[in-house]
Amino acid sequence: MLILSAASSSARISRPPLSSFSTFAASAATTSRLFPISCFGVKSTTVGNRKLQCAVFCASLKVRGMAEMIEDNKELNSSTAAAAAAIAVTASENDELPHSRAFLDARTGEDLLSAVRKAVEDKKLPLNIAEGMEELYQNYRNAVLQSGVPKADEIILYNMALVLDRVFVDVKDPFEFSPYHKAIREPFDYYKFGQNYIRQLVDFRSSYVGNISVFGEMEEKLKQGDNVVLMSNHQSEADPAIIALLLELKHPDIAENIIYVAGDRVITDPLCKPFSMGRNLLCVYSKKHMNDDPELADMKKRANTRSLKEMAMLLRGGSKLIWIAPSGGRDRPDPVTKEWSPAPFDASATDNMRRLVEHAGVPGHIYPLAILCYDIMPPPAQVEKNIGEKRVVSFHGAGVSVAPKIDFREVAGTLEDPEAKMVYTKALYDSVSQQYNVLNSAIHGKQGLEASIPSVSLSQPWQ
């Protein structure tokens, strides 16, 4: 049953409808450098396997409102202050463009939920997706309110109106991902859309980056034409946004240009697809779900072969930054201790990636990367076969850390396979685990920067 009670979300915000906001004047942009301001114009373009026409969505706020938010956030660091800048979305008056006035014209949370209910009644939205949309709204609302950020009601309304609109539009005309998907930055900037949505869930005061100088080293190698691969643990659907948010001030090129090896679930789940559309993806089927439907196993294997060919071509071009989770899925807490730790790496996955890098014909470097952000968007306790998992979100600190590159020959020496690849995989996993433990001490152990150790130096680059 679709529950539509919204409690205090029905409180009316004293502002005009979303559709009446205008684009920021140039002078306004210069006075609000702390805030993620962006404008999306109308264009028509072919993206993936369908033609995408998008309404005008302008990230804008009144100049006076911006000044008030800056004043309200004097005591917070710049990234926390940035969280106060809600995205005000506007829609084109062109009715031929795919968008939903019901969502974009909403003035309250109750309006949003009523629009979901109406779409179900009109048979424009399946009940299970509608229930997921409502659940996401309620959970996001609670998380942003928990953050204590000023103008929380406006932030919630602006962001969720846009999210629900993008989900609704995709249900009507599903976007199809190609094996190699480039982030859609226009006519609608899905990358910034995802960044600004997740930004509100990150407590930057208790978030940390490990070894920021190594990210600088990686950036230099990419500029030289080398390839870089990040062997990482995987915690949540929000991982790409978390990584980018923690690096965007010091290393925006890294934040925006990572290519993520992504499982099929993030490109098929209606509530996840709009966020995935804003990332560079190499789409594969996870080994964990390869045989969920035996009749589809051969198709999945062929699709993975196509994606591997795409990856090989990308690497041959050089200057590529690829993120991969050799565990094949997200970390899960220990069923007994309830403690979180990086899931074990699959030695065949690390070895296949290493061979692709070595055979690319250009120099390549593999770095171990750790991420800790499960509190913000934890996965289900168990691996699920069905698409449409429950989304729980919260406001919390997060962390990302990278260690110096690990060379296969230095680690494995003269060992023969399969021992060599096992030793190399262990070296990568041990480094990720060590970094993860440092992040855990800083965030959950509340040690902050003092959790640093000689091999993992923590910082807050946004300070």
pLDDT at 110: 96
Segments of the chain assigned to CATH 3.40.1130.10: 204-459
Considering the chain, what is the average pLDDT of its residues?
80
Asked whether the CA dihedral 297, 298, 301, 307 is positive or negative, the reply is negative
pLDDT at 408: 97
48: left (phi over 0), alpha (psi -120 to 50) or beta: left
CATH architecture of 204-459: 3-Layer(aba) Sandwich (3.40)
pLDDT at 401: 98
Tell me the pLDDT band of 17, cut-offs 50, 70 and 90: very low
pLDDT at 109: 96
What is each CA distance from 203 to 44, 198, 398, 399, in whole angstroms?
A: 37, 11, 7, 10
Segments of the chain assigned to CATH 1.10.1200.50: 7-176
Is 331 part of the annotated catalytic residue set?
no
Question: 87-101, 141-155, 172-186: which range is least confident on average?
Answer: 87-101
Asked whether the predicted pLDDT for residue 123 surpasses 50, the reply is yes
| Catalytic residue (choose from 72, 105, 153, 173) | 173
pLDDT at 202: 98
Whether the bond into 418 is cis, omega within 30 of 0:
yes
pLDDT digit string (tens) for 61-100? 332 333 333 233 333 333 434 433 333 333 333 334 456 7
211-236 b/e (C-beta count within 10 Å ≥ 16 → b): bbebbebbbebbeeebbbbbbbbbbb
**Residue 140's beta-bridge partner residues?**
none
DSSP string, 121-170: HTTSS-HHHHHHHHHHHHHHHHHHHHHT-TTHHHHHHHHHHHHHHHHHHH
Name the nearest CA neighbour of 185 among 94, 233, 256, 121. Answer: 256
7-176: CATH topology is: 1.10.1200
Asked whether the predicted pLDDT for residue 386 surpasses 60, the reply is no
pLDDT at 291: 56
Please state, in angstroms and rounded to a whole number, the distance separating the CA atoms of residues 221 and 156.
40
Please state, in angstroms and rounded to a whole number, the distance separating the CA atoms of residues 326 and 348.
8
pLDDT at 341: 96
Please state, in angstroms and rounded to a whole number, the distance separating the CA atoms of residues 21 and 152.
18
What is the SS3 assignment for 394?
Answer: coil
Rounded average pLDDT over 380-390: 56
Rounded average pLDDT over 160-185: 95
Asked whether the predicted pLDDT for residue 318 surpasses 60, the reply is yes
pLDDT digit string (tens) for 257-284? 999 999 888 888 999 999 999 999 998 8
Tokens of 41: 């114009």
Residue 352's Cβ-count burial label (10 Å; 0-12, 13-18, 19+) is middle
**% of the chain residues with pLDDT over 70:** 74
The dihedrals phi and psi of 391, each to the nearest 5 degrees, come to -100, 115
- Per DSSP, 398 falls in state -
Q: In what order do the strands lie in the sheet with 458-459?
A: 180-181, 280-284, 259-263, 321-324, 227-232, 364-372, 399-402, 208-210, 458-459
Length reported for the chain: 463
pLDDT at 294: 77
**Residue 229's beta-bridge partner residues?**
322, 366
Tell me the pLDDT band of 292, cut-offs 50, 70 and 90: low
**Residue 259's beta-bridge partner residues?**
280, 322
Tell me the pLDDT band of 317, cut-offs 50, 70 and 90: very high
Tokens of 96: 């031929």
Please state, in angstroms and rounded to a whole number, the distance separating the CA atoms of residues 189 and 179.
20
